[in-house]
Structure 1
Amino acid sequence: MAIEDIYDDIGGLGTFQAIILIWLYGMKSIVGWSMMQMAFAGYGPGFTCNVDGTTDGNHYTVAASDSATLAAANGLNGSSLGATASSLVSVIIENGTTRRDVCSVNGSSCSSYTYDGVKRTIVTEFDLVCDQKWIRSTITSVQMGGVMLGAFIAGQAGDYIGRKRTNYGFYLLGAVFNIVAMFSTSWQMFIILRFIIGISIGAMLVIVIPYPAEFFPQRWRYLVTVIPTWPVGVLLFAFFAWLLEDWSHLHLACAIFQLPGLLGYFYVPESVRWLTVQGRTEEAYAVIKKMAHANRKPVPEYAKGMLERIAELERQTQGKSKKYSYLDIFKSRAMLRLTLIFAFHWCSLSIVFYGLSFAVSGLSGDLYMNMLLMTSVELPAYLFNLCLTQRLGRRWTCFAFYAVAAIASGGCVVVHLLGERGGQT
């Protein structure tokens, strides 16, 4: 018998498991929000280059607020207009049209920029255009580097200090630094804070799936992977991005939504499995009683004895002080082979998924509608995954979804190349 047999006898899939999913997967949805911050914060609207002083006959400098003068400038040829305000906009006249989104005027660099719309992003905040345009993608890359580091740390920490402290510790880290990030005074400060936030995100993504799964009987664990909490969090982010249109306010809102999740620390217990293999059987038994009480089931008489036998078997097999690390992966050829295969799967999946997600700000059309549509198409996939997994198993379901993604990605490349060729002819 195993710990999962105890779970079956105290309700299996019951009230306790539902509460666990609400607490822990509610946290996961806000992590999705935190991850996608750069999809809005990195958005670069159209801009006009502002240059102090006047220029030659083909370049006219007029007041930014003087819409009548700007309109008239489009019809002028060879005249000079005086600057009437401190905020100056350079209008480049060529064949009766106005050019925008340029980084210099008649050899003079821009002294400032005027941006379209009311969106307040880090691009408009720190002028990340022209020779500083590269910083946008760099911030996202640095954040993802933090995600990778957080994943490495949390995997080991979950085994050393437990699932609960790892989960809530990194979640608190993310909440705190989301608040700090809203006060960023430079892009250098912001990029450091996004790296730290990335660490919290990576740690949460590693721990938030196995942690609740360890409270479920084996036959119900697949449910943990098919609940669409991630897209729900991203949809919530898209709504608040539309509502607030301010990168700093979005960081604050994310932190505020994270705070209720921290209250789960006082209800969600440590993993029974982890406590048992650590030899802390009294604490593990207390969690079993808590689960049984929530599910309104009696505690089986054999439960305590089984936990003690599992703990004793662990001590005899591995030794009391045995601790696993990433080095253990390399001690078995079969384990190393599986690890490399799954690592490749996750890398390719991440490149496609996050590549599309963070590039949403570069699509034509409304930014928020693009976010909404791109995330909404994920929801049916969860339902298909649930159905196909039960019929085909995990292996063939995974293969089917990867095949669809590969064909669709290849189709996008073909359409893009044909479009470029058509534009040249």
Structure 2
Amino acid sequence: GRKMNVERIFDELGHFNRYQACLYFAVVFQAIACGIHYLASVFLVDTPNFVCSPPGNITDILYGNLTASSLEDILPALQIGDWWELSRCRCALRTSPRDFAYDFDGNKTVKACDGNFVFDHTEIQQSIVTEWDLVCEKEWLAKLCQPTFMLGVLIGALVFGDIADRVGRVRILMITSLGQFVFGVAVAFSGNYYFFVFLRFLLAMVSSGYLVVVFVYVTEFTGIRVRTWTSMHVHAAFAVGIMVVALTGYLVRVWWIYQIILSLCTSPFLLFCWKFPETPFYLMAKGRCKDAQTLLDAIARFNGLECRLRADELLEPEKRENGRALLEQGADELPAQTDKKLSILDLFGSWRMAGRTCTVWAIWFIGSFGYYVFSLGSVNLGGNQYINLFLAGAVELPSYLVGCYAMDRIGRKNTCAPALLLAGVACMLIIVVPSDIEALVVVLSMTGKFAIAIAFGLIYLYTCELYPTIIRSLAVGSGSMMCRVGSVVAPFCVYLADVWTFLPQLIVGILAFIIGVLTLLLPETLGKPLTTTLGEAEALGSKKKDGLEMNQCESKA
């Protein structure tokens, strides 16, 4: 029989043996940098307390009450004898004051600020906001920093994902990790705001390029038995990156030093990444048998096994032109190459598939949207912003363990739907909590993040199983587009906290709850073989075909 052959490599050489483990932890180490750069802006654009600076030299200062340290309670006097009242974006001149008193009920002349501000440097010594005065009418520039970054993420994923199929995975891993290092350090020396945003846009492109390709790389290097775990735990490295940001932000309060330190975190990776091998799947797909043979021998030697595999035996009778088809083919045999070119419309082939696709896209969207609203918004929750961000990263690590365990035990749907419903409920509860109990707000927010992370980590695999081979990569690709749309929208949602502190959480809560209910309508795919045709995929979960299986499952449960 023409069994799917390349998978045999792992049966011979181990699904996750010594060689793969070393390689895996090395590439995942660099994935920490992606988490770092995605969230670095939280402290880069931190706006401290500030007031408008009065025109002239200050001779005398009157405090409203001695305990207050807020800048707005200060009343300065100038040499010429003017008294100014300061507020954030304008200052008011008291007209003809009789005496120097704090309270004043006479006339005032209000004037807009002329671009000089006094910042409170107790918390943040220097951020890009204090450096380039991104406040008042320039405040929107500071807010544009994260959305432009996320746009770079979207474009980078498209560009690098495509190139990696042409020139190989390893070259892209090398180029993007070098890019992360170079652009990361360059951002610190950007000198003006527009150049800063441009460099961060490039940084976003290479970071997301690395993240996309590293998923493919670890999937192609590890056997089918450990694939769930290996792909899930790339996310865990991302979470470690978030924790690194919180720690560095706490220790270093000058933005450009902070940026340099963050960029240097994973620089050791550059010393050994040029030694990485190309994946066996890619070599076979390109028909480079000799290289593949050398690689297989090397893996076998390193794993202390004898290599009995011949690379040319693994090739299909007709060479598949696409390595991805091999990679995602778990079924027993390869279908004949279809002549019909499939497009995104095939995801909406029937009412049933259309409903499925909309739900899957919604899960991708809320996964990413909720993820970034919780991560970026954790600094607005009250309490210590550094601890909050650290927790937002830390709470993710157990969520992947729970998710991995649950999806293999109780099923994909039965893990995803409750997770989304839990996130929804946690967010709704935030609103009814009395605002003086900060700890409870943080706990509920972290519960939401925990639940969303479970759904987000699981959807990748669930999508693969819901669609047939012929449109599988299209389904995953379009899903991850939705997820990037979510990440572009998320920063804008976080800024709604200015309207009402918990508005972002409310929005996520309502969406997560609705989508969680929709998820209950999807078919369960645990223990089902991967489908190859649209018909088979459509039949998933229909009562006729697997009524028996359903009953068996229920009796087991």
- TM-score normalised over the length of structure 2: 0.63
Pair 1:15 & 2:21 matched: no
- The one-letter amino acid paired with 1:371 is L
- Whether the aligned pair in 1 keeps the contact of 2:77 and 2:84 (CA below 8 Å) is no
Instruction: Tell me the alpha carbon deviations over residues 180-218 of structure 1, each in whole angstroms, 9 at most, x when there is no partner.
Output: 111122211111111111111221221111211211110
- How big is the shift at 1:413? 4.9
What is the aligned partner in structure 1 of residue 217 from structure 2? Answer: 211
What is the aligned partner in structure 1 of residue 154 from structure 2? Answer: 148
What is the aligned partner in structure 2 of residue 323 from structure 1? Answer: none
Pair 1:373 & 2:369 matched: no
- Whether the aligned pair in 2 keeps the contact of 1:62 and 1:81 (CA below 8 Å) is yes
For residues 4-403 of structure 1, what are the structure 2 equivalents within 5 Å? 4-53=7-56, 62=58, 69-71=61-63, 81-83=77-79, 92=85, 100-105=87-92, 106-116=110-120, 117-119=122-124, 120-227=126-233, 228-300=236-308, 302-307=309-314, 309-310=315-316, 312-314=318-320, 329-330=343-344, 332-333=346-347, 342-403=360-421
2:62 & 2:202 partners in 1: Cα distance? 45
- Identify if the C-alpha distance between structure 1 residues 270 and 80 changes in structure 2 by more than 3 Å, giving closer, same or farther: closer
2:260 & 2:83 partners in 1: Cα distance? 36
- The one-letter amino acid paired with 1:62 is I
Instruction: Tell me the alpha carbon deviations over residues 400-420 of structure 1, each in whole angstroms, 9 at most, x when there is no partner.
Output: 322222222333356599x99
Instruction: Tell me the alpha carbon deviations over residues 209-268 of structure 1, each in whole angstroms, 9 at most, x when there is no partner.
Output: 121121111011111133221111111121111111122112211222232122332332
- Whether the aligned pair in 1 keeps the contact of 2:232 and 2:404 (CA below 8 Å) is yes
- Identify if the C-alpha distance between structure 1 residues 156 and 42 changes in structure 2 by more than 3 Å, giving closer, same or farther: same
1:310 & 1:90 partners in 2: Cα distance? 86
- Whether the aligned pair in 2 keeps the contact of 1:50 and 1:90 (CA below 8 Å) is no
- The one-letter amino acid paired with 1:238 is A
- How big is the shift at 1:367? 2.0
| Structure 2 unmatched ranges of 5 or more | 67-74, 93-109, 325-340, 438-498, 501-557
Name whichever of 275-284 and 117-126 sits farther off.
117-126
- How big is the shift at 1:121? 1.2
2:357 & 2:218 partners in 1: Cα distance? 22
RCO higher in 1 or 2 (8 Å CA, sep ≥ 6)?
Answer: 1
- Whether the aligned pair in 2 keeps the contact of 1:40 and 1:361 (CA below 8 Å) is no
Provide the alpha-carbon RMSD of the alignment. Answer: 3.2
- Identify if the C-alpha distance between structure 1 residues 269 and 293 changes in structure 2 by more than 3 Å, giving closer, same or farther: same
- The one-letter amino acid paired with 2:237 is T
2:414 & 2:391 partners in 1: Cα distance? 27
- How big is the shift at 1:289? 1.4
1:310 & 1:210 partners in 2: Cα distance? 21
- Identify if the C-alpha distance between structure 1 residues 341 and 294 changes in structure 2 by more than 3 Å, giving closer, same or farther: farther
- Whether the aligned pair in 2 keeps the contact of 1:276 and 1:310 (CA below 8 Å) is no
- The one-letter amino acid paired with 1:156 is D
2:76 & 2:361 partners in 1: Cα distance? 63
Tell me the SS of whatever aligns to 1:185: coil
- How big is the shift at 1:118? 4.9
| Structure 1 unmatched ranges of 5 or more | 54-60, 93-98, 319-326
- Whether the aligned pair in 2 keeps the contact of 1:49 and 1:90 (CA below 8 Å) is no
1:171 & 1:328 partners in 2: Cα distance? 34
Tell me the SS of whatever aligns to 1:217: coil
- Identify if the C-alpha distance between structure 1 residues 316 and 90 changes in structure 2 by more than 3 Å, giving closer, same or farther: closer
- Identify if the C-alpha distance between structure 1 residues 406 and 303 changes in structure 2 by more than 3 Å, giving closer, same or farther: farther
- The one-letter amino acid paired with 1:3 is V
- Whether the aligned pair in 2 keeps the contact of 1:276 and 1:311 (CA below 8 Å) is no
What is the aligned partner in structure 1 of residue 493 from structure 2? Answer: none
- How big is the shift at 1:272? 0.7
- How big is the shift at 1:5? 1.9
- Whether the aligned pair in 2 keeps the contact of 1:52 and 1:111 (CA below 8 Å) is no
- Identify if the C-alpha distance between structure 1 residues 7 and 373 changes in structure 2 by more than 3 Å, giving closer, same or farther: same
- How big is the shift at 1:303? 3.1
